[in-house]
Amino acid sequence: MILLFLSNFFQTSGPRAGFLTIPAFLTIPATVMVFVLPVLLVSCSGPEPQTLEAQVAGLLEQNEHEQALELLGDAGGDHPGAEELRVQVHLAYANYLTHEADHLAMGARMATALRHYRRVAELDPGHTQALTHIELIEGIYEQMGRDIPEGIAE
């Protein structure tokens, strides 16, 4: 609506007091301004590339932990802050498996969660939450008389 008004405002072809006069051959038809200008503005402004941190955060919000780990693996060790992101992703995945995932497959989930907590402890040896959960899960396996799963998440 504003574009239509401005188009009519600038299409003045004769002298009028208080209005800007532009020769008719330089005017832009209202239909061009209404339909083409927004398309040009949108096409010229592409999406800004997301940082690795933002991509990882987006994947974690969707509980896409394995994809976040793959993304971090593709980024390599040269990205600043990659190790801290790995700690966050492994911890988020382990917490998800421990507290939020489907309870029907708890045995398989706990073994996977234990491996991720171990990865967090390996990357950050003083991480108290990871160490507490490792002790808790291993204690549950011992109380059940089952072998404690081995290994660390990739």
Span 28-41, pLDDT tens digits? 555 545 555 455 55
User: Residues of the chain with pLDDT > 90: what percent?
Assistant: 31
One domain for residues 23 and 63:
no
Domain of residue 65 covers 52-143
pLDDT over threshold 90, residue 116: yes
44-68 pLDDT, tens per residue? Answer: 555 566 888 898 899 999 988 889 9
CA distance 153 to 90: 8
* The two three-digit tokens of residue 76, written as one number: 């390599």
Q: What is the CATH number of the domain that holds 113?
A: 1.25.40
33 and 65 housed in the same domain:
no
| pTM (global) more than 0.75 | no
Same structural domain, 10 and 70:
no
Q: What mean pLDDT is reported for the chain?
A: 76
The count of domains in the chain is 2
